[in-house]
Amino acid sequence: MEQFLKTFPELKDRERRAALYSDLSMHIGDNEEWYKESMLTWKKIIVTCVENELLKESSFGESMTCIPIKGLELKFRIGNDTPSSFENILEELIKEGSLMNRVDFIKNSQNTSTIWWVLGLVFGNSTKKPKIERNELYVVVPVVKKITDRILEHQKQRCFFDITDSIMTGDQFKEIFYKDVESIKKPKNKNPYEKEGRISSIDYDIITKKLENESKIVKGINPNMPSVEIIKFVSSNSPLNAISDLEVQVLSVLSAADKTESQIRQIEKKTKLLEEQVSRAIAKKQKAIALSNLKMLKHLETNILPHRYKAIETLHGIISQLQKSSGEAEYLEAIRAGTGALKSIRQESNLNQENIETTFENLAEVLSDQEEIDVIINSGNKLVVDAKVDIDESELEKELEKLILDAEPKQVSKENKPEKQKLGSENQVPTILEESEGEKKLQPLLEKETKKKLSSEYEELDKEMGKMAISAE
């Protein structure tokens, strides 16, 4: 921190530093211009330190927009020098609106702008010093302004279709605009393979309140999932309307598409893993394990992935049609046509609550196997032996034998000396995969236990599928 502070010319020079670290309040009324200049310098130093994450406290959580006040002056120590009028500096920054108590910021941004709060603070009682809450976080307003400007520019660049690109969940907001929060930092040598992050909850509350205060967004709650916050960006020439039921359902389609794409990636990854596990089991002559993994693999390839591909194609079709449409009637019609819920559509759509709900109940039917996918993705290497899984056992055995035969020459070539054993006749060579007595005993027990577990999971799935309505999530 000390080395960073010395990058500022005002702090590198000892004489200039001594002046800035002195009791600045002595110059009020005596040398007003220099006093104001000193405050601007301190503002620049503090904001730059925040942008470089040098004033964070882990005990308060991750934040790029807020700083703790308690003990803050100690962070600016250079050698034996500590700013002697730091309290005065904080008071001035609070008065001019560069620092604001986080609680006050969130309360204030609901209905009045920061400038009016500052004017009220300054002119309401100009002789009264602002109260500094030592145990609270304070919002660094210039940093928040820089972040929100970046977010608005980013949204402008990514918004091609208002109906689908202007609405998102709070979690999606945190992911989409994470780089806009991170980009205010000074460039660092970063690992290119580092996983993308999310805006912290503290910063999310501050940033969205700032945008809401400036009438750039409208916030709402998903009525079907009260824990899910919804954000809608509002263009300058659009009315500031609340989020409608139809917009909530459009977001459900978008979220379902995101989730389905994620599921497809995970299932495809799992099929590759199962292929490797089958090959390893064959190499180790573990026929029971090879068969069980092959069974799961075939279930994914035959019964799961094709439905996911069809679902994502349907969802992309709905989204594409939504983007080509204009007006609520056309939006609802696009969703109806995409789900196949209604056989014919009138030109005049009856947009009452019951009509909208019926449309999305039909959409839920198209996506009703989402819960089953989650079970399979998270099931590890469980066997699929439930009665609901339609897999021809004899065909499975044939495929396994073919895989065994395909693997046999590779193993012979690798080993060069195939071992021979006396099995009835002196020159009889055993099959590469000859089940041991232990494996023969293990397989029925393994299948029985797995069937019991999966049976319970599918019973739970049947219950959940009945609840799938409106929201694809």
What is the enclosing helix (H) or strand (E) of 378?
none
In Å, how far from its chain's centre is CA 349? 35
Euclidean distance between the first and final Cα of the chain, in Å? 46
- CA torsion sign for 197, 203, 209, 210 is negative
Residue 421 lies in a domain: no
* Confidence (pTM): 0.67
- Rounded to 5 degrees, φ, ψ at 77 are -70, 135
Contacts of 247 (CB under 8 A, 6+ apart): 167, 230, 232
Residues 257 and 376 placed together within one structural domain of the fold: yes
Domain hosting 335: range is: 245-399
Yes or no: say if 469 and 364 are a contact pair by the CB < 8 Å rule.
yes
Residue 174 lies in a domain: yes
Q: Residue 357 has what pLDDT?
A: 45
Yes or no: say if 293 and 381 are a contact pair by the CB < 8 Å rule.
yes
Residue 337 lies in a domain: yes
- Rounded to 5 degrees, φ, ψ at 135 are -95, 10
CA dist 340 and 350 (Å) reads 18
- The four Cα atoms 147, 153, 155, 161 give a dihedral, to 10 degrees, of 170
Residue 238 lies in a domain: no
Residue 447 lies in a domain: no
Residues 152 and 257 placed together within one structural domain of the fold: no
Residues 228 and 258 placed together within one structural domain of the fold: no
Residue 46 lies in a domain: yes
Yes or no: say if 299 and 218 are a contact pair by the CB < 8 Å rule.
no
Residue where one domain finishes, among candidates 136, 157, 177: 136
Residues 319 and 286 placed together within one structural domain of the fold: yes
Residues 210 and 279 placed together within one structural domain of the fold: no
Residue where one domain finishes, among candidates 169, 204, 233: 233
What is the full per-residue pLDDT of the chain (473 aa) written as tens digits?
Answer: 888 888 888 888 888 888 888 888 887 777 788 888 989 998 999 999 888 888 877 655 678 899 888 888 888 888 888 888 888 889 999 998 999 999 999 887 544 445 544 444 444 445 567 788 888 889 999 999 999 999 999 999 998 888 788 899 999 999 999 988 876 554 455 554 445 678 999 999 999 999 999 999 999 888 878 888 999 998 877 777 888 888 888 888 888 888 889 889 998 998 899 889 888 888 888 888 888 888 888 888 887 888 788 878 888 888 888 888 766 666 666 666 655 532 332 333 343 444 444 444 555 444 444 555 555 555 544 444 443 455 666 676 676 677 777 776 554 444 555 554 444 444 444 444 445 555 555 555 555 555 554 455 445 544 544 444 334 34
Yes or no: say if 210 and 117 are a contact pair by the CB < 8 Å rule.
no
CA dist 199 and 194 (Å) reads 16
Q: Give how many domains the chain has, as a whole number.
A: 3
- Rounded to 5 degrees, φ, ψ at 383 are -80, 150
Residues 3 and 84 placed together within one structural domain of the fold: yes
Q: Residue 385 has what pLDDT?
A: 43
Contacts of 379 (CB under 8 A, 6+ apart): 457
CATH number at residue 170: 1.10.10.10
In Å, how far from its chain's centre is CA 332? 28
Yes or no: say if 404 and 431 are a contact pair by the CB < 8 Å rule.
yes
Contacts of 282 (CB under 8 A, 6+ apart): 290, 403, 404, 407, 432, 433
Q: Residue 320 has what pLDDT?
A: 85
Angle between helix 305-324 and 245-283 (nearest 10): 150
Residues 393 and 269 placed together within one structural domain of the fold: yes
Per-residue tokens: 131: 């109260």
Secondary structure letter of residue 217 according to DSSP: E
Per-residue tokens: 353: 């609550």
CA geometry: angle at 206 spanning 252 and 139, to 5°?
170
Residues 263 and 377 placed together within one structural domain of the fold: yes
CA dist 230 and 331 (Å) reads 19
CA geometry: angle at 450 spanning 446 and 456, to 5°?
160
Per-residue tokens: 26: 């002595």
Residues 122 and 226 placed together within one structural domain of the fold: no
- The four Cα atoms 344, 350, 351, 353 give a dihedral, to 10 degrees, of -90
Residues 343 and 362 placed together within one structural domain of the fold: yes
Q: Quick one: which of 93, 91, 92, 94 has its CA closest to 104? A: 94
Residue where one domain finishes, among candidates 379, 399, 419: 399
What is the enclosing helix (H) or strand (E) of 190?
none
Residue 66 lies in a domain: yes
Residue 288 lies in a domain: yes
CA dist 232 and 185 (Å) reads 27
What is the enclosing helix (H) or strand (E) of 183?
none
Residues 122 and 179 placed together within one structural domain of the fold: no
Using alpha carbons, list the distances in angstroms from residue 180 to 93, 154, 276.
Answer: 25, 8, 40
Yes or no: say if 374 and 267 are a contact pair by the CB < 8 Å rule.
no
Using alpha carbons, list the distances in angstroms from residue 334 to 166, 168, 227, 249, 321.
Answer: 18, 19, 28, 12, 6
What secondary structure does DSSP assign to 39-95, as a single string? HHHHHHHHHHHHHTT-S--GGG---SSEEE-TTGGGGG-BTTB--TTHHHHHHHHHH
Q: Quick one: which of 102, 93, 77 has its CA closest to 44? A: 93
Residues 175 and 314 placed together within one structural domain of the fold: no
